[in-house]
Amino acid sequence: MRIIVFLIDRWASVFGKGDLIIRPYELQQNQPNIIADFMRAIGRDDVLSHVVPQSQRVNDSVDMTTLALVDAFQRAKIDHELRSRLIKYVLDNKKHWV
């Protein structure tokens, strides 16, 4: 949770606290899908009838441990190919970290 607060604070320092809209990214809270939720959040309910329903989840979220590992590898001063392989390994095996 601390990393989320850190990121929000960092974005707020760049864009301004009043210019951020923080939304949950959980299936139960974004019905019928994330696109419809986004349109509602920006006040464009008028386009909801044009939103195509998703048949399956394409972009699964990752847990905080996986996110922290990926972030650490992205920031590490290591060879690009090694970084890519490490990140791929972590994402392919994310259920092991929980």
Domain range for 80 is 62-98
69 with 92, same domain: the answer is yes
- Whether 88 maps to a domain, the answer reads yes
CA 40/CA 36 separation, integer angstroms: 6
- Whether 9 maps to a domain, the answer reads no
Measured on CA atoms in the order 8, 12, 15, 19, is the torsion positive or negative? Answer: positive
Residue 82 has pLDDT above 90, yes or no: yes
Measured on CA atoms in the order 39, 40, 42, 46, is the torsion positive or negative? Answer: positive
- Whether 1 maps to a domain, the answer reads no
Task: Give the helix ranges, DSSP H, for 21-95.
Answer: 34-41, 64-75, 80-92
* Residue 48 or 52, more confident: 48
Asked if 26 and 6 touch (Cβ cutoff 8 Å), the reply is: no
And the tokens for 42?
């920006």
**pLDDT tens-digit map of 5-32:** 899 999 999 999 999 988 877 777 777 7
Asked if 20 and 8 touch (Cβ cutoff 8 Å), the reply is: yes
Listed in sequence order, the residues at least 6 apart from 24 whose beta carbon sits closer than 8 Å to its beta carbon are 30
68 with 47, same domain: the answer is no
Residue with tokens 């301004």: 16
* Residue 5 or 51, more confident: 5
Mean pLDDT confidence for 74-89: 93
State pTM to two decimals.
Answer: 0.41
